[in-house]
Amino acid sequence: MITMFFISTIIFLISMIMIILASIISKKTFLDREKSSPFECGFDPKSSARMPFSLHFFLIAMIFLIFDVEITLILPLIIITKMTNLSNLILVSTFIVLILILGLFHEWNQGALNWTS
């Protein structure tokens, strides 16, 4: 019991000495541009807030999100394969894939997938 106390005391003292030495030796910067600004995930918070944004990139991102959500609707079909009969499973999966294909063709005909325009 006493040895455990001494070991923990020694570890505590060593860690405190290392913290004090690190604060003495380390470089001190009080006035720094990045320290006084909030973290903005790679964006410069001191610059203009109105940056040009590609509307086409936004549309592609929205199409990706829509198709991604529809893919997550397909994933539970794997789990219910043992619970339902095969004809219902084929009917539901065909219907969902048909909706995906029709949505893709609609976006293609509208020109939303044409990046160069």
Q: Residues 68-92: pLDDT tens digits?
A: 888 888 888 888 888 888 888 888 8
User: Which stretch of 32-46, 52-66, 102-116 has the lowest confidence by average pLDDT?
Assistant: 32-46
Q: Yes or no: say if 28 and 65 are a contact pair by the CB < 8 Å rule.
A: no
Place of tokens 């976006």: 107
**Model confidence over 90-100: pLDDT tens digits?**
888 898 889 88
The mean of the pLDDT values for the chain is 81
pTM value?
Answer: 0.46
Residue 32 has pLDDT above 70, yes or no: no
Average pLDDT over residues 21-27: 85
